[in-house]
Amino acid sequence: MLDLPHAKATETSEAVFDLRKEAEAAGITETLRELDQELIGLKPVKSRVRQIASLLLIERIRQRAGLVAAPPTMHMSFTGNPGTGKTTVALRMAKILHGLGFVRRGQVISVTRDDLVGQYIGHTAPKTKEILKKAMGGVLFIDEAYYLHRPDNERDYGQEAIEILLQVMENQREDLVVILAGYGERMTNFFASNPGFRSRIAHHIEFPDYSEAELLFIADLMLQERGYRFSAAAREAFEKYIALRRMQSFFSNARSIRNAVDRIRLRQADRLVSDLDRMLEISDLETIDSADVLASRVFSGGADARSSNP
């Protein structure tokens, strides 16, 4: 803020802005590239994030050019099924907003109902305020926000937390960005019973489920990060695994894949250790075999068949 008058004086005289330089100075080209590379799929999310970043960038340049610049509302809601990357994108969002100077510090405070709502009368307001104060200058990420509202109990303290949140979201828009996250259906109900929330949130972003190809790609990336790779047969087996797992209960997208990868590593280690009388090569250590994948209980009917097939 301090260097604003100076910037105005020099920039308005030329009245031409190098967009690429501006974007790079704000660090958004870098952050957006990371977002593109490290997050698979999520097309609608990425395009929305890019739009927001562009708007903020243009807004910043407009301000320096002396045009009218009203700071836009940046509160967001992320809805989508489990494991679709809501938290990950929220962290990236904070980086982008910070790079563009929309939030001053860029810290992310991630909370759930427990952190906001107190246990007895008079406990909620200070608790919520404490969190809000910590989040000032950054992003407040409220996971599973619909738990704040308990329709079955009208004396629930959640309502008090909601009221304080709404007040701060309205009055201190420049100090704080609130991101609500939760599963689609329940968030819709939550907004239906708290219309104040819905109208104060400018960006409702829907996180789609991953396709099978995307999930396979995610698994490849995860293995790569951990220093493993699929053998050709194992990759094929994992494709089948994904197709089966998606149909079974408690499927949560990338999170299920991460768990599967971790269990596959367990089985691979077990397989290697079970045969002590052999020389290991590096390729043995990093290769996942089809047997490691096929041993999963997913192939024998999933969690329901757990007792019969450990």
Partner 1 sequence: MKLTQGCFSYLPDLTDDQITKQVQYCLANGWAVNIEFTDDPHPRNTYWEMWGLPMFDLADAAGVMMELAECRRVYGDRYIRISGFDSSHGWESVRISFLVNRPAKEAEFELVRQEVAGRAIRYTTVRKPAEHASV
By CB under 8 A, name the binding residues for partner 1.
104-105, 107, 126, 129, 132-134, 136-138, 168, 172, 175-176
Q: Residue 200 is encoded by which pair of tokens?
A: 């104060």
Residue 178 CB, shortest distance to partner 1, in Å, is 14
Name, in order, each residue with C-beta under 8 angstroms of 144's C-beta and a sequence gap of 6 or more: 112, 113, 181, 182, 183
From the CB of 237, what's the least distance to partner 1, in Å?
Answer: 47
**Judged by CB, which is closer to partner 1: 44, or 126?**
126
Shortest distance in whole angstroms from residue 9 CB to partner 1: 21
Count Cβ atoms within 10 A of the Cβ of residue 306 and give its class: 0-12 exposed, 13-18 middle, 19 or more buried: exposed
Q: Which is nearer to partner 1, 2 or 70 (CB)?
A: 2
Which DSSP helix (H) or strand (E) runs through 179?
A: strand 177-182
Q: 310 burial class (0-12, 13-18, 19+ CB within 10 angstroms)?
A: exposed
- Residues whose CB is less than 8 angstroms from the CB of residue 289 and which lie 6 or more positions away in sequence, other chains included: 231, 233, 234, 268, 271
Q: Give the nearer residue to partner 1 in terms of CB position, either 176 or 237.
A: 176
For the bound state, the minimum distance from the C-beta of residue 31 to partner 1, rounded and expressed in Å, comes to 20
CB of 160 to partner 1, least distance (A): 16
Q: Using the minimum distance from each CB to partner 1, give the nearer residue, 137 or 208.
A: 137
- 67, 70, 64, 69: which is closest to 9 by C-alpha? 64
Task: Give the chain's length.
Answer: 310
Question: What is d(CA 295, CA 234) in angstroms, rounded to the nearest whole number?
Answer: 11
- For the bound state, the minimum distance from the C-beta of residue 281 to partner 1, rounded and expressed in Å, comes to 50
Give the residue with the Cβ less far from partner 1, 175 or 239: 175
Q: Is the CA virtual torsion 95, 98, 99, 100 positive or negative? A: positive
For partner 1, the closer CB: 101 or 137: 137
